[in-house]
Amino acid sequence: MQDFTAEIPKALKDDEASEVYSILARLIEFGFANADIESVMDVLTARADPNRAKRSIGPRLVEFAEKVVNKTSDIRANSLLERIKEQIEARCAKAYFQQSDAHYEKFFKHAPTGTINGIPTHLRQIFTTNYDLCVDKFLRRRGYVDGFEERAGYGRVFTGSWARANGYTLCKLHGSVNWFEIGGRITQLSFAPGQSYMDEQVTGRMMVYPASEKYALITPYAECLFYLRGSLMERSADPVVVIGYSFRDSPINNAFVDAIKVNPGLRIITLRRYANAHQYELEEPLRSRVIPIDGDFASDKSLNDLDSAIRGEGPFLRLNQ
């Protein structure tokens, strides 16, 4: 996300990039030290529709504002927001598949416990908040289900059903660059359609911008979150391995918290840069249940540490108890 935040303004016009940097500076001034492009989009969303933002914040607003000024919608904010979305979609659509395949190949090959088709048995259920198609590409050679099914005359349509077979499941919690709403159905396409497709209206891509609690109430995201919650509730001896997730999405965090209440022994191992430092930003009960591993995805040291954490060995012995 840090690289993404640095990259996107470079593709914008000078005045647009300047506004992004200005918002980032203000966020840091207000104490958001890890402000990123998603934070910027959150601010722009509020500017584009102040009344909706006020309702979303609710009565808590009075604790932070001496006087609430009735603002009008900012058309420029909405325009910049759309430009940022375009850049995110364009970047995710042109992922470095050769590099991502190599990382996933190394990760799944190295991860401990038994494997089927090169994927650890306890990692059959894969959830991601990423919009890109990197993990889709990697899993394609191994076979997986993703909540979509082929429907005669309509292509691959979202059904919200993940088959419980010996294969692998992929659930994209925030949508994907190849998900589109067409004629009221969520459809997977290998290309971006125009305003209509086969005489049906194309509403647009199905991607959460930016993440907020409201998305959890609408399809297809509600079904995806329900599947995540069910999966977490069923975990027993096998750990949940979390890579790169910042724990800033309330609906996802709530799924973890509720699973911990049902299964106090649930082990959540998180691998990311500065994981130990970010541990203090977590609220309970996550703070005391998440086992942090500092490192980069698929580096040798990170994979060795992950192995030790899953097995409960070495410096991770106490954390697993």
Around Cβ 304, how many Cβ atoms within 10 Å? 14
Looking at residue 220, what is its pLDDT? 94
How confident is the model at residue 117, as a pLDDT?
A: 55
The pLDDT of residue 315 is: 64
Other CB atoms within 10 Å distance of the CB of residue 54: 15
Residue-number span of the structural domain to which 122 is assigned: 97-148+165-172+211-316
What pLDDT does residue 308 have? Answer: 85
Where is the domain boundary, 49, 68, 93?
93
Using DSSP bridges, classify how beta strands 185-188 and 119-120 pair: parallel, antiparallel or unpaired. unpaired
What is the domain-level CATH number for residue 256?
A: 3.40.50
- Residue 13 maps to a domain: yes
Q: Are 215 and 258 contained in the same domain? A: yes
The pLDDT, as a whole number, for residue 163 is: 75
DSSP H helical segments within 2-69, as ranges?
2-7, 14-29, 37-48, 50-57
Residue 113 CA from chain centroid, whole number = 26
SS3 label, residue 319? coil
Say which residues have a Cβ less than 8 Å from residue 139's Cβ, sequence separation at least 6.
126, 168, 170
DSSP per residue, 255-268: HHHHHHHH-TT--E
User: In the prediction, which pLDDT does 19 show?
Assistant: 95
DSSP secondary structure string, 118-151? TEEGGG-EEEE---SSHHHHHHHTT-EE-SEEEE
Q: Nearest Cα to 147, choosing from 243, 138, 136?
A: 136
Model pTM score: 0.85
Mean pLDDT per 10-residue section of the chain, whose length is 321 residues: 86 93 93 87 89 83 77 87 89 87 86 55 82 92 89 89 78 94 90 78 83 76 94 81 89 94 89 88 90 88 87 63 49
> Is there a single domain that holds both residue 275 and residue 216?
yes
**Residue 177: its pLDDT value, please?**
92
Q: What is the pLDDT of residue 186?
A: 93
Within this chain, do residues 20 and 70 fall inside the same structural domain, yes or no? Answer: yes
Residue 290 in any domain: the answer is yes
